[in-house]
Amino acid sequence: MKLSFLTQDIYGVGGTNRAVITLANALSTKHEVQIASVFGSSSAPPAFDIARNVAVVPLAESFPDSGSDLPSELIPVAEPSHRRYTRADDERIQRFLRATTSDVLIGTRPGLNLAIAALGPEHAVKIAQEHMTYDAVPPAVLRLMRDAYASVDAAVTLTSADAAQFREGIGLPGLRVLSIPNAVPVAVCAPASLTTKIVMAAGRLVPEKRYDILIRAFARAVALHPEWRLRIYGAGLLRDDLNKLVTELGLHNHVFFMGKVVPLGPEWAKASIAAVTSSRESFGLTLVEAMNAGVPMVSTNAPSGPAEIITDHGDGILTPVNDIDGFAEALTRLMGDDELRRDMGDAALASSARYQPQQIAERYEALFEELAQQRPKVSTGLGRLLQRQRSRNSRPPAGLFTQRTASDALGLLTSARMESDGSLQLTLHDHTASADGHVEVRARRTHPSRANTVVTAPLIADGAAAVAVLPAADIIQLGEGRYDFYRADANHTRTRLTASSIDLRALVTGDRRYTSDEVGNATPYRTQDGFLSLRMWKRTPHCELHSVHYREEAVVLRIRCFGAWSVQDPVLVLSRRQHPSAQVSFSTEPVDAQYVDCVIRVPDLAQWRVYGQENWDCFLTDRAGSKKARIAMFLDDILEKKAIKRYPELVCEEAAPAELYQRAVNPTRIVVRPYFTADNDVSIVMTELI
């Protein structure tokens, strides 16, 4: 069969895209599959990995003729994304549907489903995938569905509860409405160990996710289990508001906003508890992904997905919606019971089997075959009206099922995994990969002094893939900086490696000591353009920031010292970035055998200010000045901390003389905030507010 998905923007990050791509990849093993995307361009690869035998068709490039920029007439005004569409997009959608030879057309959001219902060719089976719950669809769009869906062969929701609502609400007796859940991508990492002290949540930072409830509940739980941390993955307009709540609750050392991360599978492998506090969930793909990693869940019993996914007190815990106390109690219970976490994690992993891609693909295949035997339905009056809007002069572009994205031009698809012994294992998945050659780790051109620094490892065939292992002893030889990965063949032709997934669970906690003096960390990461690279830190000696605390008029940096420090009372030195020779020293207070507190009194630092805003870099040294180390934080798995770990401001009021030059002078406010540089070094910004 020829199968076509019509999507809004397959190149972006989102649950719908993740689900569509997973299903398309699974179906492509037996069928000819394409994904048509109204928006996006092949100049950049999609955020999620798409199988090579799935054709991706960006409509703006396939139908490049310019059109009107007036608002769309095809996508309903009540559709949340109506503003993105223009008359030119209407024409592209119409021309695509006119040109397609697909046996099955699958829409993926209400406006596109309506377009397929009205304009899809009579020879094709037309399926409306409903990724939004019935309650979330605007009433005006639902009214259009009640007419137009007479031309759809089936509507597929993600849960049985939502199917019942659509069936009753749309009220078309002949319309087949059924539920098929989203598939979860096959796990590329081993299940989570559940030994890390990490609670993880993932999803857009939007009101319905109710992250405010999660943060408040976590605050109560972490008061009893202070070693735990909360990581929230995703982006959205509520980031600043939620960060203010974190500051208000004093959780800046415990709650971190990780931003958009793709793929999420390796992140779930670092977690020990999954948390969902949504007031509404269409399906709960986050829950299924957590289950796929063997992570137990705490979730609100939101309509309509979680209760169909989670077995309460079996593979997770369900709590009432908006119940802070209940959610905090469930988190506390799992945090404090290792055996319960393991039991629920095992049950979650077993439950996830029902969401494997091949099983979901088989359910769709059965639906396709059943619907293909039915007579095509007659277009409604709405359909005939919209069909008259089509351009009758359009010519279908050749090869719609062979168009590809720029991902074809990228390097070899590679999974990376850091081991607890410091070695790095690379698996080249691409079908062009072979054991004829080796992997090279080469210094960036931005490090001319290390231009000839190359570490190599042979490739060994492993079924359809090839594996290379870089021993810790070889990685240790690399200097501090950034490195790129290549496969070199027998002819010394190098091809850059593309990052598929990177498993860094071994770096979540650990003492990356290389020698008695030298400390470092090698962190593989995915570049913005999708390639595999490595960031290497190596310091002798090293001072690792552990946490930041606040006292009256003082910021306290808690530091762990690595290396041969011979003194018992190191000294904190702040160096003004604008004039490094200007330095201010502060005493330290021992906490225990490993940690020391560096107390920065704001009034003392303020006396040295010259500019309205100054940046002070933080060092630790001994009284004699024989040793000096930049304070930093890199002994974990977080590559860039500047945007993730944000510390609160401390505002102090500096006393002023009552009268200066015969004029009254108001007190000056001094604002101090610790922050991370691009290299994860610790600095202080001081701002004078008059």
Angle between helices 139-148 and 160-170 (to 10 degrees): 70
Class of residue 492 by CB neighbours under 10 A (exposed 0-12, middle 13-18, buried 19+): exposed
* pLDDT category of residue 350 using cuts at 50, 70 and 90: very high
628 and 535, same structural domain?
no
68 and 179, same structural domain?
yes
- Which residue range is the domain that position 230 belongs to? 198-354
170 and 22, same structural domain?
yes
pLDDT > 90 fraction of the chain, expressed in percent and rounded:
69
193 within a domain of the structure (yes/no): no
Determine the 3-state secondary structure of 287 from DSSP. helix
Determine the 3-state secondary structure of 432 from DSSP. coil
State the pLDDT at residue 10. 94
45 and 128, same structural domain?
yes
* pLDDT category of residue 344 using cuts at 50, 70 and 90: very high
State the pLDDT at residue 615. 96
State the pLDDT at residue 453. 76
Residue 666 has pLDDT above 70, yes or no: no
95 within a domain of the structure (yes/no): yes
Class of residue 261 by CB neighbours under 10 A (exposed 0-12, middle 13-18, buried 19+): middle
* Mean per-residue pLDDT of the chain: 88
Q: How far apart are CA 364 and CA 504, in angstroms?
A: 35
Higher-scoring residue by pLDDT: 395, 515: 515
State the pLDDT at residue 375. 54
Which region among 169-173, 384-388, 541-545 has the lowest average model confidence (pLDDT)?
Answer: 384-388
pLDDT in tens, 257-297: 999 998 899 999 999 999 999 998 877 788 999 999 999 99
Higher-scoring residue by pLDDT: 176, 511: 176
114 and 50, same structural domain?
yes
- Beta-carbon neighbour count of residue 353 at 10 Å? 10
Q: How far apart are CA 28 and CA 5, in angstroms?
A: 12
The kind and range of the H/E element at 163 are helix 160-170
Q: DSSP H helical segments within 554-669, as ranges?
A: 602-606
CATH number for the domain that contains residue 32: 3.40.50.2000
Terminal Cα-to-Cα distance of the chain (whole angstroms): 71
DSSP string spanning 527-559? -TTSBEEEEEEEESSEEEEEEEEEETTEEEEEE
85 within a domain of the structure (yes/no): yes
pLDDT in tens, 42-77: 887 788 889 889 999 999 998 887 678 899 999 999
pLDDT in tens, 246-268: 999 999 999 999 999 988 999 99
Strand partners, 148: none
598 and 619, same structural domain?
yes
Residue pointed to by tokens 């081993």: 190
Residue 395 has pLDDT above 90, yes or no: no
Q: How many domains does the chain have?
A: 4
Residue pointed to by tokens 């990376």: 416
Higher-scoring residue by pLDDT: 444, 374: 444
Determine the 3-state secondary structure of 399 from DSSP. coil
Residue 593 has pLDDT above 50, yes or no: yes
190 within a domain of the structure (yes/no): no
State the pLDDT at residue 41. 87
* pLDDT category of residue 631 using cuts at 50, 70 and 90: very high
Phi and psi for 688 in degrees, rounded to 5?
A: -100, 125
- The set of residues, in sequence order, having a beta carbon less than 8 Å from that of 681 and lying 6+ positions away, is 617, 618, 630, 631, 632
192 within a domain of the structure (yes/no): no
684 and 579, same structural domain?
yes
* pLDDT category of residue 403 using cuts at 50, 70 and 90: low
434 and 379, same structural domain?
no
Angle between helices 15-27 and 285-292 (to 10 degrees): 60
Which region among 14-28, 132-146, 339-353, 403-417 has the lowest average model confidence (pLDDT)?
Answer: 403-417
677 within a domain of the structure (yes/no): yes
Last residue of a domain, one of 490, 505, 539: 539
504 and 626, same structural domain?
no
State the pLDDT at residue 541. 85
Higher-scoring residue by pLDDT: 596, 516: 596
* pLDDT category of residue 405 using cuts at 50, 70 and 90: very low
Phi and psi for 144 in degrees, rounded to 5?
A: -65, -40
CA atoms within 13 A on the CB side of 224: 14
Class of residue 18 by CB neighbours under 10 A (exposed 0-12, middle 13-18, buried 19+): buried
Cβ(250)–Cβ(551) below 8 Å: no
What is the rounded average pLDDT of the residues 139-159?
A: 95
State the pLDDT at residue 622. 83
675 and 603, same structural domain?
yes
188 within a domain of the structure (yes/no): no
Last residue of a domain, one of 539, 560, 582: 539
State the pLDDT at residue 378. 42
* pLDDT category of residue 383 using cuts at 50, 70 and 90: very low
578 and 530, same structural domain?
no
The kind and range of the H/E element at 601 are strand 595-601
State the pLDDT at residue 515. 67
pLDDT in tens, 526-555: 998 889 999 999 988 899 999 999 999 999
What is the rounded average pLDDT of the residues 160-173?
A: 92
What is the rounded average pLDDT of the residues 99-110?
A: 95
pLDDT in tens, 468-511: 999 999 998 898 999 999 999 888 889 999 998 999 999 997 66
State the pLDDT at residue 365. 97
Last residue of a domain, one of 328, 354, 380: 354
State the pLDDT at residue 429. 83
Higher-scoring residue by pLDDT: 407, 307: 307
Strand partners, 560: 544, 595
56 and 115, same structural domain?
yes
Strand partners, 686: 614, 672
267 within a domain of the structure (yes/no): yes
State the pLDDT at residue 512. 65
